[in-house]
Amino acid sequence: MRPISRLRRFTLFYIYLISLCVHPYAWAESPPVLASAKVTAVSLPQLRYVDASIEAVHQATISAQVSGRITEIAVDVDDYVAKGTIIVRLYDKEQQAALNATKARFDEADKEYKRVSDIFKKGLVAKAAVDTAEAKFKSAKAAMEQAQEALENTRIRAPYSGIVAKRHVQVGEMARVGSPLLSGLSLEKVRAVVELPQSLIYAVRQYKKAWLVVGKDRQTRIAADSLTFSSSADPDSHTFTLKLNLPAVDHGMYPGMSTKAAFMVGEVTRLVIPKQAIARRSEVTGVYVQTEQGLLFRQIRLGQDVDNSLVEVLAGLAQEDEVVLDPQAAVAIVHATTPKKNPTKE
């Protein structure tokens, strides 16, 4: 056998290097194994959507508890007011004078009661003197507390944090007992109100699960804490008024806004996949599937979000299919293992 020349050995080694550059995985037994998840079937609520409007749970009209001339209105319409803030002041000179007088009598009775009590401990005065001093002290204290309450009634405070919706009076007007001063509503607690068709009332009462649809694109759902049903249907529209009591979270919905409410009316079985497995190519949505032939890109049609990590698949996959959880890594492997076509020389 003739020995291989040095030039021939160099040529064969050069061809081998070129083959490795064209097929980087030709030397490997198999491409890297990527993490994947099976397409699973889960039971999801069957939903029906109904128009809803938002209203404040706490809304009230503040009235005067005493008569008096209005000396100050500290807020105006659309102002935000914290709970306990003084929003209206009435003329209070008489109440302030009465409080000062009762406080002076209270201080005097308090000192006398303490003095008589100290003397009684030394055995220099009868128990009747202590009882008399104590009675005067309690009477003076009750009178002072009553005067304090009368003065406080001239300072109308916000019963809860919220927005001033309407102003009924002006500075200088005379407020009477029970006359409305300001109307307001709270943004801390809101609820959704819907007119539910009678065709849905039985299923909604059975499952008692509902969500408010919120967000810019109305893709987010907030579960209602509870549902409040009207006792009877409207005789004209044959609908039931239903209120969705919502959790106190920042959902961006304000009184007067309209949106949608979703109600559970049954259960359906749907296929779901992890959201991280989704790959998007321009307007095409798909996933990379592990098959016997290798990685294949498969176009799919998505449905509703199941939670923060899972999404419903309406078409394109079958149960038990293996979807790759890292689409970018799948793209790299597909491109690396695909043979490149050499341009034909003319």
Per residue in 49-104, pLDDT (tens digit) is 999 998 888 888 999 999 999 999 999 998 988 889 999 999 999 999 999 999 99
DSSP-derived 3-state class of residue 240: strand
- Cβ atoms of 35 and 325 within 8 Å: the answer is yes
Q: Are residues 280 and 296 in the same domain?
A: yes
pLDDT at residue number 32: 66
133, HSE (Cβ side, Cα atoms, 13 Å): 20
- Residue found under tokens 């040095």: 6
Query: What is the C-alpha to C-alpha distance for residues 277 and 288, in angstroms, rounded to an integer?
Result: 8
pLDDT exceeds cutoff 70 at 340: no
DSSP state of 5: P
Q: Are residues 223 and 234 in the same domain?
A: yes
pLDDT at residue number 216: 66
- Would you place residue 187 in the very low, low, confident or very high pLDDT band (cuts 50, 70, 90)? confident
The residue type at 306: V
Q: Are residues 224 and 328 in the same domain?
A: no
Is 113 within a domain? yes
Q: Are residues 68 and 180 in the same domain?
A: yes
Q: Are residues 51 and 197 in the same domain?
A: yes
Query: What is the C-alpha to C-alpha distance for residues 248 and 217, in angstroms, rounded to an integer?
Result: 21
Number of domains composing the chain: 4
pTM greater than the 0.95 cutoff: no
Q: Are residues 219 and 129 in the same domain?
A: no
Query: What is the C-alpha to C-alpha distance for residues 317 and 328, in angstroms, rounded to an integer?
Result: 20
Domain carrying residue 74: 62-91+154-185
CATH code at 134?
A: 1.10.287
